[in-house]
Structure 1
Amino acid sequence: FLRRGYGLGAQAMAKGGFHEPFFTIAWPTGEFGGMGLEGAVKLGFRKELEQVKDPQERQALYEKLLAQLYERGKALNIAPYLEIDAVIDPADTRKWIMEGLKAARTEPTERTGHDFVDTW
């Protein structure tokens, strides 16, 4: 993950899940969340935001909650929970990719004639 991973988009980038036998890495600038963070604040904190009648105060609360989610969703903070193997220095990207290619299966797997799409 170079930049952002939200919801099913993150899962798709991780080849359907974070339990693959290879590795999942992120740059320190990576951001993660179950959905776009702006929408997550608007939906997840709707009741709290509706209780604030003053529009400026409501916007301030929204921005505060959004900043908290951005901080929580940083790659360094989310890595232990999202099963990211490492948050790497971008300069080491080539090394990680080369190691991943070396570890990749080179022999074709036995095909059963049924294609299976695993969404999880």
Structure 2
Amino acid sequence: MNWLSSLLRRTRARLDRWLHRPYRTLIVQESLPRKLRRKIVYVVEEDGFVEQAAVLCPCGCRRVLHMNLLADERPCWRLTRHDDGTTTLHPSVWRTTGCGSHFWFRRGRVEWCRPQ
């Protein structure tokens, strides 16, 4: 029985590290892949200009969230790339339909907003 509790403890530790790891940033040219993967922020770049960021909703509903990065269109987010490979989006992301997720995306981590 001792081996079982040891296995569960190791599994829980690995799962915790996997769930709390930061999102990676992947730059794609011209269009998004057909199927997005979890824990990845896709940044679409065309002719040297970033156009949009996309990510699967962190709540688990599997909806693709698109954030416009073009300053002359609204709404617009600002993307900051950090030396450690993570990104920050400003302002917060708020789904007003569906799951209603509202969160900040800072340095590759999701920081949930409290319900109003």
TM bucket by the smaller chain? under 0.3
Looking at secondary structure, tell me which structure has more strand per residue.
Answer: 2
- TM-score between both structures, scaled by the size of structure 2: 0.21
Structure exhibiting the larger radius of gyration computed from Cα positions? 1
- TM-score between both structures, scaled by the size of structure 1: 0.21
Looking at secondary structure, tell me which structure has more helix per residue.
Answer: 1
